[in-house]
Amino acid sequence: MVDDGETPIVLDLGTGALANLRRHVDYDRIAAVVISHMHADHFIDLVPLRYALRYGPRRRKQKLPVHLPPGGLTMLRTLVSAFAHEGGEFLDDVFDLHEYDPSRALAIDGATLRFAHTAHYIPAFAVRWERHGASVTYSADTAPDERVVALARETDVFVCEATLRHGEVEPGIRGHSSAADAGRMARDAGVGRLLLTHYGEESTARDLDEDARTNFAGDVLVADDHRTFDLG
């Protein structure tokens, strides 16, 4: 979540994310949710969010904007059709659903979001958030990719996945990065700080930090539940 104090925007909402998110923001305050790609670990908590908005004590006067990648709306409706027995309004009663055009900027309450294709197994999009001169770029899931580097150019914080462990090689078509790969992309993009995320439970903060620093001389941080970072 990127929160400027006025318009908290959530970039992906995967398994367990809503429960963590509620520690930091009232869910009715969220300005929008933006989904990078339609793998379940990046969007599945839209379902409990829907129940919270529909039946929880905190209601919104307006529907919550949810911005999906191209093709995402059909996939999401297909998923919920397997268990939603409350009519066609299961999603639309609380969400204002859209599919974004990754070739165009998306304006959300004063913030501007731009996108870039990533190298993944399905269509996926990195996201750059900007407002009042500050910027955060989120890699989503990607193997090393120059399009992501270009999007992240001179961003304040580059939130980059680090799925692969040291020395691990993906079989076949690549769709993920290591911490060393993330460091290389951060270096090439000239970012201010690198924040590593999307790593497995066997990875340690020390290993991730050391691998990233082989290619990036700037600040390296490792994401964890409930860690917050000040862009200032």
What is the pLDDT tens value at each position of the chain, 232 positions in all? Answer: 999 888 899 999 999 999 999 999 999 999 999 999 999 999 999 999 999 999 988 878 899 999 999 999 999 999 998 887 765 588 999 999 999 999 999 999 999 999 999 999 999 999 999 999 999 999 999 999 999 999 999 999 999 999 999 989 898 899 999 999 999 999 999 999 999 999 999 999 999 999 999 999 999 999 999 999 988 6
Residue 161 CB neighbour total at 10 angstroms = 27
Query: Given the DSSP bridges, would you call strands 134-138 and 125-131 parallel, antiparallel or unpaired?
Result: antiparallel
CATH number of 106-224: 3.60.15.10
The Cα 139–Cα 136 span in angstroms is 10
Domain residue spans of the chain: 1-100, 106-224
Using CA atoms of 114, 119, 123, 128 in order, give the dihedral in degrees to the nearest 10. -10
CA distances from 225 to 3, 52, 229 (A): 16, 21, 12
Q: Which fold has domain 1-100?
A: Metallo-beta-lactamase; Chain A (3.60.15)
- Topology agreement, domain 1-100 and domain 106-224: yes
